[in-house]
Amino acid sequence: MADEKLTYEAARDELVAVVAKLESGGASLADSMALWKRGEELAKVCQEFLDGAKEQVAKAREEETAP
């Protein structure tokens, strides 16, 4: 699934699963590095969604207070 098609919830859920796998400690170094890289990608996707939501809220508040 392409990251640009992930919903916030799907990216967050996958990130939680990646973190759980990393915390379990059962992966090889190569697998751990791949998981870490994927986690970084997912965290970026989540942050972009959150930043967009924050912008929308700020814009809505500005519109409410505009004369």
Q: Which domains does the chain have, with CATH numbers?
A: 3-65 (1.10.287)
Give the pLDDT score at 28: 96
pLDDT in tens, 6-65: 999 999 999 999 999 999 999 999 999 999 999 999 999 999 999 999 999 999 998 888
Rounded CA separation 5/2 (Å): 5
Rg for the chain (alpha carbons), in Å?
Answer: 17
Give the pLDDT score at 66: 77
Closest-CA residue to 44 (of 20, 63, 6, 30): 6
pTM for the whole structure? 0.83
Give the pLDDT score at 58: 94
